[in-house]
């Protein structure tokens, strides 16, 4: 049975979708990104700052291309359908309310235009100097300062919370992310995540990534 919190999100999403569909102004055109983002605020916060209580990452200021790409991954099942990806399984039903490419593009543009989040460190025990060396191979895809590289489908890392980075690396290493045949760039990331051989290495590289937001 679905958790009560998930059922509440689905119910709220259904009400939101009906309200949008019933609007005569929006009968032919896609809703604005701001209108669509109203649904996202339930988990990601009023300005996209994220919410650790529901494991929703900060998304404000993320590159438009990356946000749109991830939303489409959820739509196709390339991301978020693994039985152990509890957060992804909550995200996928939300994304299904995005009816067309225009809806995806509009909300991605709105998210990209929000002021970037400056996360607070929550993990302890990481050494950013050691992490700097470990980050070397990551820079080819994610950029020297974690800015992201669209040409390599490398996600922007600056502005992400350390707890989310840790969770994401864990998922890649376990095959919860990046194992679906549709997720080709996720498969690349899964291989790279294996370089971080233990918990300390993960914390060290994340400590270095967190310096990009300062």
Domains of the chain: 4-113 (1.10.760.10), 128-213 (1.10.760.10)
Dist CA 174 CA 185 (whole Å): 16
Residue 28 banded pLDDT, cuts 50, 70, 90: low
Structure token pair of residue 132: 């700097």
Predicted confidence at residue 213, as pLDDT, reads 82
79-109 confidence digits (pLDDT tens): 999 999 999 999 999 999 999 999 999 999 9
Residue 15 has pLDDT above 50, yes or no: no
Using an 8 Å Cβ cutoff, are 54 and 41 in contact? no
pLDDT in tens, 166-175: 999 999 999 9
Mean pLDDT rounded to a whole number for the chain: 89
pTM: 0.86
Is pLDDT larger for residue 41 or for residue 15? 41
From the number of C-beta atoms within 10 Å of its C-beta (0-12, 13-18, 19+), residue 49 rates as buried
């Amino acid at each position: 049975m679905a958790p009560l919190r998930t059922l509440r999100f689905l119910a709220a999403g259904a009400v939101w979708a009906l309200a949008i569909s019933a609007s005569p102004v929006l009968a032919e055109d896609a809703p604005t990104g701001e209108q669509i983002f109203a649904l996202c605020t339930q988990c990601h916060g009023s300005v996209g700052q994220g919410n650790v209580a529901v494991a929703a990452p900060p998304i404000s200021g993320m590159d438009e291309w990356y946000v749109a790409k991830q939303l489409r991954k959820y739509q196709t099942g390339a991301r978020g359908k693994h039985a152990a990806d509890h957060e992804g399984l909550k995200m996928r039903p939300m994304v299904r309310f995005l009816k067309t490419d225009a809806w995806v593009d509009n909300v991605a543009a709105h998210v990209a235009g929000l002021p970037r989040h400056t996360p607070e460190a929550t993990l302890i025990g990481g050494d950013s100097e050691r992490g700097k060396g470990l980050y070397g191979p990551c820079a080819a895809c994610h950029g020297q300062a974690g800015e992201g590289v669209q040409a390599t489908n490398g996600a922007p890392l600056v502005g992400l919370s350390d707890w989310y980075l840790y969770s994401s690396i864990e998922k890649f290493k376990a095959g919860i992310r990046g194992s679906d045949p549709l997720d080709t760039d996720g498969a690349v990331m899964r291989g790279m995540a294996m370089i971080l051989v233990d918990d300390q290495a993960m914390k060290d590289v994340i400590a270095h990534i967190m310096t990009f937001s300062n």
